[in-house]
Amino acid sequence: MLQEHDFSCTVDLADAGTRLDQICALAFPQFSRARIQQWIKSGDLRVNDMVAKPKQKVVGGEFITLKAESEEQTVWQPEPMDLNIVYEDDDIIVINKPANLVVHPAVGNWSGTLSNGLLHHCPALSHVPRAGIVHRLDKDTTGLMVVAKTLTAQTALVKQLQARTVSRHYQAITLHELPNSEFTVDMPIGRHSQVRTKMAVVNAGGKPAITHVDVLQFLKGFTHVHLQLETGRTHQIRVHLAYRGFPLVGDQVYGKKALPLSIRQANPHWAEVQRFPRQALHAWRLSLAHPITGATLSWEAPLPEDMQQLLARLQDD
Catalytic residues: 138
CA 26 to chain centre: 17
Q: Helix, strand, coil shares of the chain as percentages rounded to 5?
A: 25, 30, 45
52: how many CB neighbours lie within 10 A of its CB?
19
Strands 142-148 and 281-289 turn out to be parallel
Q: Contact 152/30 with Cβ under 8 angstroms?
A: no
Cα 234 from Cα 245, distance rounded (Å)? 19
**Pseudo-torsion of CA 226, 231, 232, 235, nearest 10°?**
-60
Query: Which residues lie below 8 Å from residue 46, measured CB to CB, with a gap of 6+?
Result: 52, 64, 65
Q: Contact 225/174 with Cβ under 8 angstroms?
A: yes
The phi-psi region of residue 241 (left if phi > 0; otherwise alpha if psi is between -120 and 50; otherwise beta) is alpha
